[in-house]
Amino acid sequence: MVFIKINSISPLFKLDYDLENGLKLMTFRDKVQVREEDMKNKKTMAIMAIFTPLLLAVYTSALAEDDHPLYAPYKGWPPCAVMTGEGDMAPDGRSVTGVICRSTLFIPDSDKDGVPDDKDQCPNTPPGVEVDEVGCPLDSDNDGVPDYLDQCPDTPMGVEVGEDGCPLDSDGDGVPDYLDQCPDTPMGVEVNSQGCPLSVDSDGDGVPDDIDECPDTAYGVDVDEVGCPKPVVLEDGVHFGFDSAKLSPNAHTILDKVVENMRTYPDLEITIAGHTDSTGNADYNQRLSQLRAEAAMNYLASKGIDPSRMEAIGYGEERPIASNSTKEGRAKNRRVELQTHDED
């Protein structure tokens, strides 16, 4: 129901009308009233057909442009816009001086969202859905999913979402991709807030129990990706004097560390590789490198390491690690290296 009070000339003339059903009540001088039911009377309708357009035109002639009222003389007549100015009006849609009567002012609103169809960019909005000025459902987080369908209405800007408006979770661990530091977690594995496995690590080696192949590793031991101790490899190796296979005191110190590790890990087996520089005959150097490897193995055996866990191989001058053209380089090449069998 719309209520209009026209007060430019006579403040006592009032109209009450319904945009869909036409005039509901007309009051003149607060005493004379014509109601909807009165309009069923042929005499009343005849009088209104003659005088109502004229009265409206005269009484609205002094209104400002922004105050243009709308009216429908009675049910069945088209709604009209009464413009400023003087003149007559015709409810059949003709335009005359100062008065425009046009039904196009009342464009349908098919989806009943409050936005007329000619402005509605989303004309099929479901009933009751809140819309913006162009008739489209609100999307508060701008993720492309309207609020009435968005199950995650506060998604951060730029985050890719699914049809439900929630951030994608490719591995299905409950942590959205944009927060997931372990995006390929196997299905069913419990994770922390960063999306990484939350498995128990019984031996504290940094490898979860569900993939730890050595779950009882001693605390502090350096392990590989499956939780097993890394193989014993001498960083500097055991070095020898020129044309000698005799172990130095420093070599004993290094080999004692190997003994300790091999006692800690009784399944560990090693290869002891002997090397020489390029000085002298190649065949001689081959035999000398073998003697150096055996010297290291015999020392370990003397400390209680089972010889079956060790293999001594001489490589002669074939595998230098430094240039044989300098004294320093040749000293580095006279060495023994210890490796696990699978690294040889």
Summarised one tens digit per residue, pLDDT across range 221-236 is: 778 888 887 755 555 6
Contact status, residue 185 vs residue 191, Cβ threshold 8 Å: yes
- Please tell me the distance from the alpha carbon of residue 273 to that of residue 282, in angstroms, as a whole number: 16
The full set of domain ranges for the chain reads 2-105, 238-343
Average pLDDT, the chain: 72
- Please tell me the distance from the alpha carbon of residue 81 to that of residue 167, in angstroms, as a whole number: 50
Cα–Cα distances in angstroms (integers) from residue 317 to residues 29, 126, 281, 327, 343, in the given order: 125, 85, 10, 15, 20
Contact status, residue 227 vs residue 217, Cβ threshold 8 Å: yes
Distance of CA 127 to the CA centre of its chain: 31
pLDDT for the residue 239: 87
pTM: 0.38
Q: Which residue, among 190, 194, 211, 193, has the nearest Cα to 202 in the 3D structure?
A: 211
What's the CATH code, domain 238-343? 3.30.1330.60
Q: Is the pLDDT of residue 94 over 80?
A: no
- The pLDDT tens digits of the residues spanning 140-190 come to 888 888 888 888 888 888 888 888 888 888 888 888 888 888 888 777 777
pLDDT for the residue 298: 96
Phi, psi (degrees; rounded to nearest 5) at 114: 90, 0
Which of 256-270, 299-313, 329-343 bottoms out in mean pLDDT, i.e. has the lowest? 329-343
